[in-house]
Amino acid sequence: MKMYLISDNVDTLTGMRLAGVEGVVVHEREEFRSALEKACTDKDIGIILLTEKFGRDFPDLVNAEKLSHRLPLIIDIPDRHGTGRRPDFITAYVNEAIGLKL
């Protein structure tokens, strides 16, 4: 199975291509929807990497695909500008998941 990147900038795609990961650069909602649906229906793709911008801008599209397919696994990654997450996002995620304050 392959990995596939859907990115909002060329630099991230270029870096991933150097690692052997193919992908596409999109900017608009409909371009993203089309690329995501196409990647989800490709049986050779096991992991779809999305730059964090798409998770923030189009959570409805990302969540709909995550809930409707067992595979591929859809993962948000930081782009060349770094992560948009809070510094303590892992602790907050664990707190929310288990209901305990760490």
What does the buried/exposed string (b/e) look like for 51-80 if buried means 16 or more CB atoms within 10 Å of the residue's CB?
bbbbbeebeebbeebeeeeeebebebeebe
Q: Please say if the pLDDT value at position 32 is more than 90.
A: yes
Largest CA distance in the chain: 41
Q: Residue 91 is inside which H or E element, if any? A: helix 89-98
**pLDDT for the residue 83:** 63
Q: Which CATH number is 2-98 given?
A: 3.40.50.10580
Give the mean model confidence (pLDDT) for residues 5-10: 92
Q: In whole numbers, what is the pLDDT of the chain averaged over residues?
A: 85
Quick one: which of 58, 55, 60, 48 has its CA closest to 83?
55
Could you give the percent of the chain with pLDDT greater than 70? 80
CA distance 20 to 40: 19
pTM of the model: 0.77
CA distance 71 to 95: 27
Structure confidence by residue, pLDDT tens digits, 69-86:
888 999 888 876 656 666
The residues spanned by each domain of the chain are 2-98
